[in-house]
Structure 1
Amino acid sequence: MKRRNKIYLYMTIILMAVYVGLVTLLYFSECTDSSATIRTFGDAFWYSLVTLTTVGYGDLTPVTPLGHTVGVVFLLLSAGILMTLFGAVISFVTSEGLPFVMLGFQRKKNWYYFADYGAESNTLAANIYQEDPDAVIIYGEKREEQMEFPDYPCLFLSVSPARIIACKKNIGTKCKVFLMKENDIGVNSRAIDLHKLPVEVYARTTNGQDHLSGNINFFHSYDCCARQYWRSKPICSHENTIVIIGFGNYGRCILERAILTNIISVKQHVAYHIFGDSREFLAMHINLHEMFSLGEESDERDSLIFHDEFWETHHEILKQADRVIICPDDEPEGWSIFWRLHKYYKCRGQIDLHSNRKAPGVSYFGTNEEIYTPNQIMRTELNRAAIMINEIFCRSVSYPTLRWEELDDFHRESKIAAADHLLMKIRILLKDETVTEFTADTVKKAYQRYCEAKVSESMQDMYRRLDHMRWLRFYTFYNWNYGPVRDDTARQHPMMCPYAELTPEQKVERDASWELLGSIFAEL
């Protein structure tokens, strides 16, 4: 590209030199003739422009033989120059030239670069543009002729992120780069050396990692789907039996989120019946028996019951279920299960179907519009709440603690899991299971209820016990055990014990995630 630009530059210089030479020759050939109308260099320049543009006013004409010769040269060049200029303008408009000029005027805005254009990229870009009036959407590929143009302003530039960053010149906020294909960061040429650029990178993955290094962040569409599911369709106190059909990527993440966030009472006993291959899941999470009853229902704690048999054989479980979640990774298979359930089974509970297709009368979840949002992919609100929890925690304990920037990925995830449970805490405090969003009013009322209730030692003790239960489930899920002293390498922690065995100071630590409601209200 640089070599081609140099050739264009040299050609331009040569053409300009030839043009100036011809105008000069015309001037000197005419200025000495008494009958000439071209008397000055300006006259010669004006005659050349009128001739080359084929306007031909006729106000100035050469009279000398040499002047006539130069005039003929200008006449012959006029058509070629016009065609060249026209082609150059068309090339500039249709290639990278015009978009880069447009970008140059928008350096102070927020740039979002997508490595390629697809359904997921289009949905996220549309949501970004709707939320951010200063968004500049850039796709790193050429627009195909048969492609329908998006409903929002955007640029299609087949260039690397490095060229885009060079154009931005570190003005305004950092450019955000999105790799929307699964595990794309390992194979996409656009991802090379991204860690060296002053950008924030969000790459879609399936490997379960949230962070790589510095500016590289991962997101999981399956986990985003599960988070959105339990947020929009929260578990209710009357639900004791939940069936999950399909235990691929979506089913696994839905169960994981249920384990980590569906804590609404210290006395709850929800039975999760899971249909699908669970061998890998159980092999990884070897300590689940510490917090759950495995294989059989319990009246004292939640149960995880994995079925190797076909779901079709368990009529009684489906009949008694308060909720059936259909979530195989193959969407057509999910629809097939949905229709068979309706046709042949008695289901008193709600049936939720994972589907990107919307249909009337169907309780569906996991559409692209729900999953690919800035808040889901970049986790801005969730991360901000997690940082607040860590700050409150640091202030509430007497021993040395780490700031957010110093935490490793696991302990950051621990704070994020606490933030994930905030909406559930609001429902508990307000005794309102219909709340699905944070608003200033709901947060204010919830925090007021908490302040009023914690005056009672028994109520405060109950709140602490509930959050300790949530905390235990998180650490158990990641295979931690009890140890007299904390040892991150051995995954041992002195608080991995029943609530009654905690020290007074350890019990106070559980207040941080409840006190966060006050900080969130102040911010809202």
Structure 2
Amino acid sequence: MNNSKRNRIRNRILICMAVATLVVMLFLLAHVEQKASNSTIKTPLDALWYFLATVTTVGYGDVSPVTPFGKAMGIFFILLSCGFISILITSIIHFMNSSAILRARIFLARVDRWYIFDRYCPESVCLARQLSAMPEDNGFIFCGAEHQIRDLFKFRCIFTSLSVDNVLSICTSGKKNNSIPKPAVFLIGENEESNLKTALAISSADTDFESCRTVSASEAFNNGAASVTDPDKVQIYCRTCVRFQTPPKGLHTFDPSELTARAYWAENPLTRSEKNVILIGEGALINFLIEQAVLVNVFGPLLRCRYHIFSKNEESTRNSHTDESFMEDHPRITDVIDVVSVNTMVPPAEDPILMKNGIKSVSVEALQEESGEAPANDTLCFHEEHWDSNHACLETADRIIICSSSEMDNIRIAEKIRLLCPTMARLFIFGNDSIDGVSGFGSLRQLYTPERIMREELLRRAVALNEYYNSLQDDKYKKTCWEDLSMFSRRSNMAAADHMNTKIRILTGNLDRKTAVPIDPDTTVLAINNFRENTVDRELCRRIEHERWMRFHYMYGWRYGKERDNERRLHPLLVPFEQLTAKEQELDDISWELISTLQD
């Protein structure tokens, strides 16, 4: 028996004892008073009326004791009234905030689906507003937000002081109808450790919600206990930097920095004329921007780009080691793209020096001589010098992305670049606001959207890709449904789906467009027809997809092996396109054919 259940039993016993004592006292008062000739208390009901009038401090005076025992009881009732009012008010407030009231409000709301937020904050409000604009009649519950604007979303919004697990138990209890949409829980607080513990406790603890609060998240996850919330009924979206290899069912994680990078390259695609892109910043965001650029900006020989990364802080004499952290995470990426370290200590006349992990060290002057020419391969250039000491690189840049953690620092850097450098580059700064001539990205409105957080459209494309791949296999091949795929295979399909916009831009001839191509029926029909009718070179398309596929695998530590071994991350197709057989090259058509599913 846990402490919570033991306390409930003890409280009930105490309440029963108090009520029984009061009943005995009232009967004794009536029994003693009715013997007095001038007494107004004749029955237990009269005694109860006298008790209520006294402890509530009303004091009508129509009934009162006359015997010494009765007056002694009256003194006790008067002393008892000192705490009765406060206890009564506290009880009323507790009842108003109790699960019974919330249960009634949820039952009477009759919405199609509930969205539960762990807190009331700008992020949750932004996401809830966009969810409220959907055609379904959705309801929103904000936990730990008792005193907020009640009519924020008309009559579909509930604020409660109850915890997420209590609210979730109310929303899921008693619903046996499988047609009811799944409730969704959003854990989006800044304390990511707390978010993850709550998510794991909810998704992996025992079926008793009380034990969900007492069992540690790690213990519940390691023990593999039965899900406290049926995955067929609830989905949990947790803000955390942890990437699960095999997450608990129903648990989806997101990282704001990763969301920012995905949103940026989706809304601001690379154009044909952009050969030199500069990134200025530090931390997780710049690493995600690099990672997403490597995976999404794959155009083959149509477009090659140099990414210049400046991560040295202005106040520090040291580099923030973006190159080291990125290469530690993705040591095999040098097998498919070029990576150089721009070192001020290398003499200009020296040939590139090969360092560890396949990184070449070159001088600033040597890199500047090449900046005017298109690179033969996509290149990551990690600069050891501060961005302000390399004006030549800034002047030849086609795009500059400023992504430090401070919005004011980003604005200051952008204004300094425009003041000191005659650059024609497109300027982007990380922050909620844009300034004249500079585009902002990473605002809450851009990030906290249903598609970014829940990724339902991306998942739909990934599932369609897997089904299409299965349909092309013969009966001897073991077809694997989406639910049985490993997490890596799922991510691989999602990466292919993420590259869909790039493929459509290539097929429709929109490589010069500076904004995302709208995914509408006319565009998708044009794109798939151009692919099937060989309007765009079919071999070029296959080369681009094979290069994208290899980048993804090398990014996550795979390497060439004569036989495929998922445990050791070996794959026989991690070879140049020319070394593939004709049948193996045709496999790259699958992700291009997936464009046809967007017409549905």
TM-score of the pair, normalised by structure 1: 0.80
Query: Counterparts of 1:424 and 1:270 in 2: how far apart (Å)?
Result: 15
> Which residue matches 1:198?
228
- 2:101 counterpart of 1:102: yes
> Comparing 186-195 with 295-304, which one deviates more in the overlay?
186-195
Equivalent residue for 2:189, pick from 180, 185, 188? 180
Cα deviations by residue, 1:89-112 (Å, 9 ceiling, x for unpaired): 33542x586142333232785252
State the shift of 1:249 in Å: 1.6
Query: Counterparts of 1:360 and 1:81 in 2: how far apart (Å)?
Result: 68
State the shift of 1:378 in Å: 3.4
Seen in structure 2, the aligned counterparts of structure 1 residues 5 and 85 have a Cα distance that, compared at 3 Å, is farther
Seen in structure 2, the aligned counterparts of structure 1 residues 13 and 480 have a Cα distance that, compared at 3 Å, is closer
> Comparing 68-77 with 12-21, which one deviates more in the overlay?
68-77
Seen in structure 2, the aligned counterparts of structure 1 residues 446 and 505 have a Cα distance that, compared at 3 Å, is farther
The answer (yes or no) to whether the contact 1:247–1:328 under 8 Å persists in 2 is yes
Query: Counterparts of 1:188 and 1:92 in 2: how far apart (Å)?
Result: 33
- 2:231 counterpart of 1:218: no
> Comparing 484-493 with 289-298, which one deviates more in the overlay?
289-298
Seen in structure 2, the aligned counterparts of structure 1 residues 481 and 40 have a Cα distance that, compared at 3 Å, is closer
The answer (yes or no) to whether the contact 1:179–1:185 under 8 Å persists in 2 is no
Query: Counterparts of 2:515 and 2:413 in 1: how far apart (Å)?
Result: 30
The answer (yes or no) to whether the contact 1:482–1:495 under 8 Å persists in 2 is yes
Equivalent residue for 1:362, pick from 415, 431, 438? 438
Equivalent residue for 1:285, pick from 324, 330, 353? 330
Equivalent residue for 1:258, pick from 286, 293, 297? 293
Q: 1:164-179 maps to which residues of 2 (within 5 A)?
A: 164-168=167-171, 170-171=173-174, 173=182, 176=185, 178=187
State the shift of 1:461 in Å: 4.3
- 2:331 counterpart of 1:327: no
- 2:344 counterpart of 1:341: no
- 2:441 counterpart of 1:396: no
Seen in structure 2, the aligned counterparts of structure 1 residues 270 and 92 have a Cα distance that, compared at 3 Å, is same
User: Secondary structure of the residue that 1:274 maps to in structure 2?
Assistant: strand
The answer (yes or no) to whether the contact 2:307–2:380 under 8 Å persists in 1 is yes
> Which residue matches 1:134?
139
Q: Which amino acid in structure 2 is aligned with residue 445 of structure 1?
A: D
Q: 1:476-495 maps to which residues of 2 (within 5 A)?
A: 476-495=554-573
Cα deviations by residue, 1:109-162 (Å, 9 ceiling, x for unpaired): 525252x666656655665566673221213xx87x9x9999565545375x55
Query: Counterparts of 2:560 and 2:151 in 1: how far apart (Å)?
Result: 54
Query: Counterparts of 1:355 and 1:267 in 2: how far apart (Å)?
Result: 32
- 2:238 counterpart of 1:239: no
The answer (yes or no) to whether the contact 1:243–1:324 under 8 Å persists in 2 is yes
User: Secondary structure of the residue that 2:302 maps to in structure 1?
Assistant: coil
The answer (yes or no) to whether the contact 2:120–2:142 under 8 Å persists in 1 is no
Seen in structure 2, the aligned counterparts of structure 1 residues 11 and 299 have a Cα distance that, compared at 3 Å, is closer
> Comparing 33-42 with 278-287, which one deviates more in the overlay?
33-42
Q: Which amino acid in structure 1 is aligned with residue 295 of structure 2?
A: L
> Which residue matches 2:24?
21
Q: Which amino acid in structure 2 is aligned with residue 237 of structure 1?
A: R
Seen in structure 2, the aligned counterparts of structure 1 residues 13 and 513 have a Cα distance that, compared at 3 Å, is same
- 2:391 counterpart of 1:315: yes
Query: Counterparts of 2:584 and 2:80 in 1: how far apart (Å)?
Result: 84
State the shift of 1:367 in Å: 2.3
User: Secondary structure of the residue that 2:428 maps to in structure 1?
Assistant: strand
Equivalent residue for 1:415, pick from 487, 493, 507? 493
RMSD over aligned Cα atoms:
4.1
Structure 2 gaps of 5+ residues are 176-181, 202-215, 230-234, 312-320, 341-366
The answer (yes or no) to whether the contact 1:465–1:499 under 8 Å persists in 2 is yes
> Which residue matches 1:509?
587
Q: Which amino acid in structure 2 is aligned with residue 279 of structure 1?
A: E
Seen in structure 2, the aligned counterparts of structure 1 residues 78 and 234 have a Cα distance that, compared at 3 Å, is farther
State the shift of 1:437 in Å: 7.4
Cα deviations by residue, 1:197-234 (Å, 9 ceiling, x for unpaired): 53454444445556544454432221111001111212
Query: Counterparts of 2:47 and 2:455 in 1: how far apart (Å)?
Result: 66
> Comparing 485-494 with 199-208, which one deviates more in the overlay?
199-208
> Comparing 28-37 with 280-289, which one deviates more in the overlay?
28-37
> Which residue matches 1:89?
89
User: Secondary structure of the residue that 2:190 maps to in structure 1?
Assistant: coil
Query: Counterparts of 1:248 and 1:449 in 2: how far apart (Å)?
Result: 41
Query: Counterparts of 1:176 and 1:252 in 2: how far apart (Å)?
Result: 28
State the shift of 1:417 in Å: 0.6
State the shift of 1:184 in Å: 0.8
Q: Which amino acid in structure 2 is aligned with residue 250 of structure 1?
A: L
The answer (yes or no) to whether the contact 1:208–1:220 under 8 Å persists in 2 is no
Q: Percent identity?
A: 26
State the shift of 1:48 in Å: 5.8
Cα deviations by residue, 1:12-60 (Å, 9 ceiling, x for unpaired): 32343344335545666788999998887667666665666566778x7
State the shift of 1:457 in Å: 4.0
User: Secondary structure of the residue that 2:138 maps to in structure 1?
Assistant: coil
TM-score of the pair, normalised by structure 2: 0.71
Structure 1 gaps of 5+ residues are none
Q: Which amino acid in structure 2 is aligned with residue 227 of structure 1?
A: R
User: Secondary structure of the residue that 1:306 maps to in structure 2?
Assistant: strand
- 2:520 counterpart of 1:443: yes
- 2:549 counterpart of 1:471: yes
State the shift of 1:363 in Å: 1.3
State the shift of 1:345 in Å: 0.8
Q: Which amino acid in structure 2 is aligned with residue 77 of structure 1?
A: F
Q: How many residues align?
A: 509
Query: Counterparts of 2:228 and 2:592 in 1: how far apart (Å)?
Result: 36
Equivalent residue for 1:387, pick from 447, 451, 463? 463
User: Secondary structure of the residue that 1:272 maps to in structure 2?
Assistant: strand
State the shift of 1:405 in Å: 1.8
> Which residue matches 2:533?
456
Seen in structure 2, the aligned counterparts of structure 1 residues 518 and 30 have a Cα distance that, compared at 3 Å, is farther
